[in-house]
Structure 1
Amino acid sequence: MDANAPQNPNDDASAHPSTTRPGRWSLRRRVALGVGVATVAIIAWFGYSAWDVQHNLTNARDNAELAKKSLLTGDSEAAQRASADAEASAVDGQQSLHSAPWRVVAAIPGVGAPFKSAQEMSDVVVGLTRDVLTPAVETGSALSPKDLVADGGKVQLRPLRDAAPQLEQISLSARSLADQAHQVSEGGYLGLVNDVRTELQSQTDDVAKLLENTATGAKIVPAMLGADGPRTYFMAFQTNAEARGTGGLVGGYGVIRAEGGEVEVDTLGKNSEVSYDHEPLDLGPEYKALYGKYDPSTDIRNSNFSSHFPYAAQIWQSMWKQESGETVDGAIATDPVALSYVLDAVGPITMPDGEKVTADNVVELTMSTAYTRFIDDETNGKAGGNEARKNYLQTIASKVVDKMTGDIKSPQKLLDAVGKAASERRIAVWSAHPDEQAIIAGTPLGFTIPEDPAPYAGVVVNNNAGNKLDYYLTREIDYTAETCTGETRTSTVTVRLTNHTPDRDFPRYVAGTYNGRPVPSGTNLAMVSLLATNGATLTKATLDGKQTFAVNGSELGHPVFIVPTTVPKGKTVELRYELTEPATAGKARVPVQPLVDEPKVTVNVPNCGN
């Protein structure tokens, strides 16, 4: 064939496309290659950008923590450096997340969900560092525990009072940012982003609560510690081995005197030294109907049956006025578990016989060992008996108080211990000054029953035998309600009580009963009260599946249902309240009565406001 002859268009040119159409296919390849390179570049950029964001936000978190630690140790310069570094890192992370590529992707429906969530979270973090951390460090430099508490335990009140307005503003900013964190969009298909979102919401809530408590303290502590004149407070030592509404039976007491930030405790006494010959205090018809038969305002042992601490505090104020002629400015209550936290901060105490009382043994010593150690001192459980044991417990209380009000090596550890006890409601405070009490009532220290309509299940155990077996009692509480489909819904509150009393030769006043009931030694007899949601009605109460009788009453707007409950040694009983309650808005609350155990609490109650 002639090489120069024209080719037949029907020849099999398709067998060699690369040679017959080189321009067309090379262009496709170049385009594909270009798109691939661009895609890889974009992915690489986003990968680097994501790493950069994580790096900056991690730096912000770590420096924020360093600023806090430096502040608490009194190193204000280090705190300010760390605060500035935290803010700079947070801003860098925010700028990356709000760059043009991130904004474009964040705007894509569905695909952009985690990007948008990350942007919103970075805004919260910047706000926290700029509007909360930085001013908090500036203000807190004057409030370092190291400088705030002088030698001898005197509290410097002027810096605290001066800082109150600024702390209030910082607290408001923290709460606003916590609310903003709860408005952050969900991360969609990226579970990791959702996990970070949940963590941020929890952290901002914690910061807001901490600053709210700090601002509250700065507002009222100076006056309460005698900045404007002497103050006195009745202090009750509660023993959780015999349960009462606010924790435990009042076994002893003291009077706190404060002036100019200096605090001392005197007039330590035993409950057996408080007369029963008092004029009763009128706390209203509801209170009288529920608790009147126990003579709470004339018998200090029964003064705190109600879980509303202001009732007990007012009774103690009335009693002390009739005992001494002195009107106290308020009342405080604490328990051996709180003392264990304090001893962990200030160190052990030494008893006159050389015995060491430490954070590890004070709870068992005061609520278990002491009752068997002084078994020969028993006087049939009558008032005024067991003097050796009561003297022993009073000595422990006195020495712990001396340690707290003396030279303190680590004020921060002591403040942390007190804060932990307060968060568990193991320290309760009431002020006779209405402006102060209005603030305290809204904090954990107030130990109050709320009067709003939000879902509520307050389970209260009161010892019904006069024994000391609640040291061995453990609790489980479950509050479950149906969805918000109507004006009312069905709910259940389930309480499981387990009696762990060991086989031991206990005195009768520890493991027996005082009212002659024919029950075996070691049997726990409890009056279990449920303070339910406002407007709730009881459909049925059961004990171990069998319907039982409940005493009805009301307290501060809450219906109260009381069931006498017997818990044999080594057994668990289940008390179940079946209710119809209003489908009201608000987060469900299950306050924990401060006994010895840490109860397991489960809440499955939809918020009808969402």
Structure 2
Amino acid sequence: MVSRRPWRIGLLVLAVLVVAAVLWYAYLTVRVVGDLNAAVGDARSARSALENGDTEKAKPYLDDLADRSTSAAKRTDGVSWGLLTHLPVIGDDARGVRTVSGVVSDLSGTGIDQLLQAADSIDDLAPKNGRIDLATVKQLQRPIGTAAAAMAQADDQLSAEDSSGFVGRFKTQYDDLASEVGTADRALSAADKAVTVMPSMLGADGPKEYLLVFQNNAEIRATGGLPGSAALLRADDGKVQLVRQVAGNSFGERPSPVLSLSPGEKSLYTEKLGTYFLDANFTPDFQRAAQLWTARWEERYPSDQLDGVMTLDTVALSYLMRGMQPVTVQGVQLTSDNIVDELLHQVYLRFEDPAKQDAFFQQAAQQVFSTATSGSVEPRKLLPALRDAADQGRALVAVDDKEVAAELEGTAVLGRSLTSEADAGTYFVGINDGQADKLSYYLRYSARLDATYCSDDTQAGTMHLQLRSTAPKSVATQPRYIVGEAPPGYPQGTQILTVRLYTPPGGRFGDAQLNGAPTQIKYQQFGDRVVGTVFVPIQPGTTSDLVLRTTAPANGATGVWSTPSIDGSGGYTAARSSCG
């Protein structure tokens, strides 16, 4: 009879080895997870300190972050951890942990150090007597550029992993980290672009002149709002000043368009696009609106040779006032919290004369801008405010300098164009007030594109627009200048919106429904795009839902640019492609 003792000994040895391996991997996992959790805590503490301008307080956290992340990276870069990445069920989690460890370690060794160096100098960007030190801007180019490159690489690495199979809490933590890094990547990329173009735009090589257009969201236009005020902005060796400011309605109407309009423009917008300064932004194409505004301005002021156009809307002004002391205009104290209500609503209740309304708006815009450029706002608060405004389509530029425009390509601050190759996959949603009123103060809306299917390199989707009026029933008692003239059959306070949706080049629209029922919509060709126009009435306190089926070629990134409104929506939003 064969003895079973050797088999038992073999099984015992195997069992011991398995237990030892389990214990080793358990120990390894506990140490790695402990290091990563501690690193995350250090990162949050460091970020809080940096946001408060305390770089000295941030340094110990960043040092510990470097130690912890380096430790985790070394433990997950060896053979033992490598074996885990090939196992079923837990293999993808092991790869995710290794990716996170490597990313955080790399950032702590390069990008964060450079970011800390830039943070030490960020306050030096504060304007002094209306002038920004361009030497400081140039000194920041290298550290911010290095940090931006490191963050972009980190974003690419984290995005390359599919977290859908990760287990439990780790999936949440991984997605949170990926989101934070993605946000930081976009912010640093924007900062890198900003410090690259600022010297040129601020007159390092000679004076620059820009048209600064303030848009009034109370009367919505496709790029944001009625261009109620415009100013000449001059920049020379970093010194910025408002030279001249006028009301938008002071330009009146020309007998013919200031620039030649295409047949498509005449058909969609009528000749008012080129005859009225106030109507140049009927189009969501900011670059085109900038051309028309420039032509009208230079026609009136031929000695001004504009180098570009910038725009801010009223909500953007409220962002600029974050951390700013209140400003007083005609006895009214304006803060970040109340300036939108004061400029877009209360001013119309306070003054019956449109000239007085315009004067109040102009004075407020001038004071906010002057305060922001005088050094009364900390750069670490001003820069995020400008970033938020740009992300929502509220702070846009169009520049003649081709090198500067090339640097800004792909950023939120460069105004988009219907004819740009960079927007070949972009749907545009342009909303215009259909009557002369200030009811857009009550408008809230959202735009969303849902992918449905892909066939033969054509992606299909569904565009959803929800438009809501927050106007109270009593809005009918407000001055006629606010409520306008209601169309027949509708109560006073009804908003009439002209909604235009633009497909990407080669795209098409299908069925359209308004509030669940088929609706009349006018389709027409506009260059390579198709435009659908629908007039949407919204009575006080009601909501309208517009749904359209769409198809478009699958040629790169897909997204939606929509008109910014009062509630924070607007700007560009990426959409999932139905073609992967």
Distance 2:488 2:407 in 1: 45
Counterpart of 1:89, as a letter, is: R
Alpha-carbon shift at residue 390 of structure 1 (Å): 1.6
Is residue 2:404 matched to residue 1:436? yes
Is residue 2:380 matched to residue 1:412? yes
Partner of 1:482, secondary structure, is strand
Distance 2:378 2:145 in 1: 26
Distance 2:71 2:321 in 1: 44
Taking a change above 3 Å as real, the CA distance of residues 352 and 511 of structure 1, as seen in their structure-2 partners, is closer
**Equivalent position to 2:114, from 135, 156, 159:** 135
Contact 1:115–1:187 (CA<8 Å) still a contact in 2? no
Distance 2:241 2:7 in 1: 90
Alpha-carbon shift at residue 588 of structure 1 (Å): 2.9
Distance 1:401 1:217 in 2: 19
Taking a change above 3 Å as real, the CA distance of residues 130 and 52 of structure 1, as seen in their structure-2 partners, is same
Alpha-carbon shift at residue 152 of structure 1 (Å): 2.8
**Equivalent position to 2:493, from 505, 516, 522:** 522
1:551-589 superposed Cα distances (whole Å, 9 cap, x missing partner): 33455643211112222223222222223333x154431
Taking a change above 3 Å as real, the CA distance of residues 455 and 329 of structure 1, as seen in their structure-2 partners, is closer
Task: Name the counterpart of 1:53.
Answer: 32
Is residue 2:171 matched to residue 1:201? no
Taking a change above 3 Å as real, the CA distance of residues 75 and 480 of structure 1, as seen in their structure-2 partners, is closer
Task: Name the counterpart of 1:548.
Answer: 519
**How many correspondences in the alignment?**
574
Task: Name the counterpart of 2:327.
Answer: 349
Is residue 2:506 matched to residue 1:535? yes
Counterpart of 2:339, as a letter, is: V
Distance 1:104 1:45 in 2: 13
Distance 2:249 2:266 in 1: 26
Distance 2:406 2:485 in 1: 41
Contact 1:241–1:471 (CA<8 Å) still a contact in 2? yes
Is residue 2:559 matched to residue 1:589? yes
Counterpart of 1:113, as a letter, is: D
**Equivalent position to 2:85, from 97, 102, 106:** 106
Counterpart of 1:507, as a letter, is: P
Identity %: 25
Task: Name the counterpart of 1:477.
Answer: 447
Partner of 1:356, secondary structure, is strand
Taking a change above 3 Å as real, the CA distance of residues 227 and 555 of structure 1, as seen in their structure-2 partners, is farther
Task: Name the counterpart of 1:212.
Answer: 189
Contact 1:278–1:322 (CA<8 Å) still a contact in 2? no
Contact 1:67–1:137 (CA<8 Å) still a contact in 2? no
Q: Which runs of 5+ in 2 are unaligned?
A: none
Contact 1:329–1:433 (CA<8 Å) still a contact in 2? yes
Alpha-carbon shift at residue 222 of structure 1 (Å): 1.0
Counterpart of 2:28, as a letter, is: S
Task: Name the counterpart of 1:508.
Answer: 480
Contact 1:56–1:93 (CA<8 Å) still a contact in 2? yes
**Larger radius of gyration between Structure 1 and Structure 2:** 1
Contact 2:223–2:285 (CA<8 Å) still a contact in 1? yes
**Equivalent position to 1:328, from 306, 321, 340:** 306
Taking a change above 3 Å as real, the CA distance of residues 481 and 412 of structure 1, as seen in their structure-2 partners, is closer
1:103-156 superposed Cα distances (whole Å, 9 cap, x missing partner): 233333444332222112222222222332223334x156x2212225334211
Alpha-carbon shift at residue 62 of structure 1 (Å): 4.1
**Equivalent position to 1:360, from 320, 337, 359:** 337
1:264-311 superposed Cα distances (whole Å, 9 cap, x missing partner): 113222123224348634365255334551522331111111111111
**Equivalent position to 2:537, from 566, 570, 573:** 566
Alpha-carbon shift at residue 548 of structure 1 (Å): 3.3
Alpha-carbon shift at residue 603 of structure 1 (Å): 9.1
Distance 1:104 1:546 in 2: 58
Per the normalisation by structure 1, the TM-score is 0.85
Contact 2:453–2:579 (CA<8 Å) still a contact in 1? no
Partner of 1:341, secondary structure, is helix
Distance 1:437 1:468 in 2: 34
Is residue 2:65 matched to residue 1:86? yes
Taking a change above 3 Å as real, the CA distance of residues 509 and 601 of structure 1, as seen in their structure-2 partners, is same
Partner of 1:182, secondary structure, is helix
**Equivalent position to 1:498, from 455, 468, 488:** 468
**Equivalent position to 2:149, from 159, 172, 175:** 172
Taking a change above 3 Å as real, the CA distance of residues 145 and 152 of structure 1, as seen in their structure-2 partners, is farther
Report which stretch shifted further, 36-45 or 566-575: 36-45
Task: Name the counterpart of 1:337.
Answer: 315
Task: Name the counterpart of 1:17.
Answer: none
Taking a change above 3 Å as real, the CA distance of residues 214 and 476 of structure 1, as seen in their structure-2 partners, is closer
Distance 1:97 1:468 in 2: 60
1:56-107 superposed Cα distances (whole Å, 9 cap, x missing partner): 2234344445555666666666656554443332111111123443223333
Contact 1:484–1:608 (CA<8 Å) still a contact in 2? yes
Contact 2:127–2:374 (CA<8 Å) still a contact in 1? no
Contact 2:559–2:575 (CA<8 Å) still a contact in 1? no
Partner of 1:569, secondary structure, is coil
1:215-252 superposed Cα distances (whole Å, 9 cap, x missing partner): 11111111111111111211111111111011000111
Contact 2:214–2:311 (CA<8 Å) still a contact in 1? yes
Counterpart of 2:287, as a letter, is: P
Is residue 2:547 matched to residue 1:576? yes
Contact 1:317–1:327 (CA<8 Å) still a contact in 2? no
**Equivalent position to 2:161, from 170, 175, 184:** 184
Per the normalisation by structure 2, the TM-score is 0.89
Distance 2:36 2:11 in 1: 37
Q: Which runs of 5+ in 1 are unaligned?
A: 1-22, 378-385
Contact 1:484–1:606 (CA<8 Å) still a contact in 2? no
